Chain A
Amino acid sequence: MLMLVVLGVSTVVFFAVRLSGDPVLLFMPQGATPEDIASLRRDLGLDDPLPAQYVRFLVSSLAGNFGTSLRYQQPAFDLVMAVLPTTIVLTLAAFSLALLVAIPVGIVSAVKRDSIADALAMVVSLVGQSMPGFWLGILLILVFAVELHLVPTGGWGRPEQIVLPAITLGAYSMARISRLIRSGMIEVLSEDYIRTARAKGLPGRIVILRHALKNASIPVVTVVGLELGHLLGGAVITETIFAVPGLGRLAVTSIIARDYPVVQAAVFVAAIIVTLSNLIVDVLYTYLDPRIRLT
C-alpha cells in the first residue's frame, strides 16, 4: 500500500506540473529569455520523451531528489525537511489539544446524556465542525491579539505564539472527536460487561475510564488517521494566517512564486506522512482490539 501511494503521489505530482503545458515556462520567472528557457529545458532533461522523464522523476523522487528551488537555490527536499519540524510541532500541539478537550467533553456528554452540559457541548461542537479554520483564526486574532493583547498576532518561536494556531488547527478535530467519543461511549455503556463491572462493585471512575473508554475509542482511532490528513491540510491555512514558517506556508508561497520543485517535494512529503500515520493507526488497532489481526 505504501509503495502504491508513493507511486500515485509521484505520478500526480509529475503530471500536475505538466498539466499547464510546458513545465519550463512554469519553472522560469516571467520575462526569461528564449536562451534561458532552452538551457533550462536541457538542464532539466525535458528534451527526453515523456515516459523517460517520468521514470527518471520516479527514481529521483524516491531518493529524495526533487531538484533545486528556483527561489532559494537550495535542494527543494532540504528546504521542505527544514520546515517540517515546525509543522509537526504545530500539528501535534493541535492534536493533543483536541484530544485533551475532546475526551473529557465526550465522556461527560455521554455519561450525563441529555443534560444541559451535553446539549451545550454538542451545539458548540456542531459550530466547531462547521467553522472554517481561516475564519476561526481571524476571529481569534481579532479577540485575543488585537483587542486583548494577550498573544501576538503571528510568528513562530516563542511558546505563546503556538496557542492561537494550535486552537485554530485543532478546533475541527476537537469537535469531531468529542462527538465520536460521545456516541461511542453511549453505545458501550449499555453493554453487558459494563453492567458486570458495575455489579462487581468497581468504582464508576474505573468502569468508565478502563472498561468503557478503551472500547469506545476504537472508532476514534480510525478517524485519527484521517484527522492527521485533515490537520496537515489545515496547517496550510493556519500557517498562512499566523505567519508560521512551516510546510504548508512553504507550499503556498512556492505555488504563488511558481517554485515547482519545492511544491513537488512538499506535496510528496506530506502524502508520505499521512500514509505512514495511517499505517501506525492500523497497528494501534490491534492493540486496542485484539480481534482485529493485521493481514
Chain B
Amino acid sequence: MTALRSIASSHAARRLRRSRSAQLGLVCVAAVVTLALVGPLFVGDPTQQDLLLRLKPPVWVAGGDPQFVLGSDQLGRDVLARVVYGARISLLIALLAVVLAGVLGVTLGLYTGYYGGALDGIVMRLAEVQLAFPFILLVILIVGAIGPSVTNLVLVLGISGWILYARVVRGQVLAIRAMDFVLAARCVGIADNAIVLRHVLPNAFSPVIVVATFAAAQVIVTEAALSFLGLGVQPPDASWGRMLSDSRDHLTTNAWLATIPGVAIMLTVVGLNLLGDWLRDVLDPRLKV
C-alpha cells in the first residue's frame, strides 16, 4: 500500500511540477505576445532619436529618466519601445516562417509517407544532405546572396525548416496508412488525395503542433542571430538581435543595453520550449523532438 501510495504521490508530484513549468512557459509566451500586441499603444516611436538623451539607464537606476522606462540607447531611442517593436518583428517572422515550413514539411511528409517509393527516397536523402550543412551557414549564405529583408528572412527560415515536420509526419503516416479505416476508405473508392487530406492528415496532426512550438523558438533565435550579424532585420527597424549587437560598443557605459534584449529573447525561447515540452507530454509522450 505504501509503495503504491508513494508511486502515486511521486507521479502526482511529477505531474504537478511538469504542469507548473508549463504554466511558467505559458506566462512567458503570453507576456511576450501581449507586449507585441498592445505594447505599441503605450510606447512612442522606436526610431525617434534624441542625441541629448542617449545611453540613459532604466528608471530604477540612479540617473534614469522617467521618459525612458528601460533607458535609452546610443542614439537616444527608447529601449522599451524598441523591445516592443522587436517583439512584433520577431513573433511575426517566427509565425510566418513556422507556417511556411509546416505547410511544406507536412505536405512532403504526408505524400512521401503515403506513397513511399522513389519520391520518398529522394526527399529523405535530400533531408540528410541538408542536415549535413551547418544550418546557420546555409542561412547566412542564402540571405547574403538574396539580401536581408523581413520577407527574405521568412522565406529562407521557412523553406529551410521543413525537415523535422516532414520526418515526424511521415513516421505517423507510415503507421496510419496500414490501418483499417484507410483500407476502408480506399475500398469505397475515395481518391488518394482525399484520403490523405481528409483521413490521414487529421490523425497525423498533433505532433505537428509540438514540432511547430519548438521550431518557433528555433526561428526566433536564428532570426536574432542573423540580425546580430547584420544579416537580419535592417536598421532603423528595431530587432532584439540588432540591439544586442549595437550594445557591444557601450558595455562600459550602459550594460543594460546588453541585458534587456537578451532577457526578452530568453523569456520567449524558454517559454516556447517549456510549452513545447508540455504539449508533447499531453499530445504524444513518445515523440522525440
- A residues lining the B interface (CB < 8 Å): 1, 4-5, 7-9, 12-13, 16-17, 19-20, 26, 126-127, 129-135, 138-139, 141-142, 146, 226, 229-230, 232-234, 236-237, 240-241, 248, 251-252, 255-256, 263, 266-267, 270-271, 274-275, 278
B273 engages A237 (CB within 8 Å): no
Please pick, from A20, A139, A241, A274, the residue contacting B132 in the complex, using a CB distance under 8 A: A274
A270 engages B134 (CB within 8 Å): yes
How long is the Cα–Cα vector from A270 to B247 in the complex, in angstroms? 30
B163 at the interface (CB under 8 A from A): no
- Residues of B near A135 (CB, < 8 A) are 244, 258, 261-262, 265-266
- Nearest Cβ in chain B — how far from A231, in angstroms? 9
A-B contacts, 7 listed (Cβ < 8 Å): A19-B145, A19-B146, A135-B258, A135-B261, A233-B137, A267-B133, A275-B132
Contact stretch, chosen from B56-64, B200-208, B217-225: B217-225
Contacts across chains A and B counted by CB atoms under 8 Å: 138
Tell whether A141 pairs with B251 under 8 Å between CB atoms, given A19-B146, A127-B270: yes
- Nearest Cβ in chain B — how far from A28, in angstroms? 15
How long is the Cα–Cα vector from A133 to B183 in the complex, in angstroms? 50
Given contacts A1-B128, A8-B130, A274-B132, 17 further A-B contacts (CB under 8 A): A7-B129, A20-B146, A26-B145, A130-B266, A130-B269, A133-B225, A134-B241, A138-B262, A139-B258, A139-B259, A146-B251, A229-B132, A255-B231, A256-B144, A267-B141, A270-B134, A271-B133
Closest 3 CB pairs of A and B: A8-B129, A255-B144, A135-B262
Closest chain A residue to B268, Cβ basis: A130
- Residues of A near B126 (CB, < 8 A) are 8
Please pick, from A1, A132, A270, the residue contacting B137 in the complex, using a CB distance under 8 A: A270
Please pick, from A132, A142, A252, the residue contacting B265 in the complex, using a CB distance under 8 A: A132
Interface size of B by Cβ–Cβ distance < 8 Å? 46
How long is the Cα–Cα vector from A134 to B261 in the complex, in angstroms? 11
Main secondary structure on chain A at its contact with chain B? Answer: helix
Restricting to B233-286, which residues have a CB under 8 Å from any CB of A?
Answer: 241, 244-245, 247-248, 251-252, 255, 258-259, 261-262, 265-266, 269-270, 273-274
A232 engages B134 (CB within 8 Å): yes
B138 engages A5 (CB within 8 Å): no
Restricting to B146-182, which residues have a CB under 8 Å from any CB of A?
Answer: 146-147
Tell whether A138 pairs with B258 under 8 Å between CB atoms, given A4-B125, A132-B265, A267-B141: yes
Restricting to B78-95, which residues have a CB under 8 Å from any CB of A?
Answer: none
How long is the Cα–Cα vector from A225 to B224 in the complex, in angstroms? 25
Tell whether A142 pairs with B134 under 8 Å between CB atoms, given A130-B269, A134-B241, A241-B248: no
Please pick, from A134, A252, A267, the residue contacting B138 in the complex, using a CB distance under 8 A: A267
- Nearest Cβ in chain B — how far from A260, in angstroms? 8
How long is the Cα–Cα vector from A89 to B137 in the complex, in angstroms? 19
A271 engages B134 (CB within 8 Å): yes
Most chain B Cβ neighbours within 10 Å, of A126, A138, A240, A267 = A138
Closest chain B residue to A7, Cβ basis: B129
B195 at the interface (CB under 8 A from A): no
B12 at the interface (CB under 8 A from A): no
B132 engages A263 (CB within 8 Å): no
A229 engages B270 (CB within 8 Å): no
Most chain A Cβ neighbours within 10 Å, of B230, B251, B269, B273 = B251
- Nearest Cβ in chain A — how far from B14, in angstroms? 9
Closest chain A residue to B126, Cβ basis: A8
B142 at the interface (CB under 8 A from A): yes
- Nearest Cβ in chain B — how far from A279, in angstroms? 10
B137 engages A237 (CB within 8 Å): no
How long is the Cα–Cα vector from A226 to B269 in the complex, in angstroms? 21
Closest chain A residue to B217, Cβ basis: A130
- Residues of B near A230 (CB, < 8 A) are 134
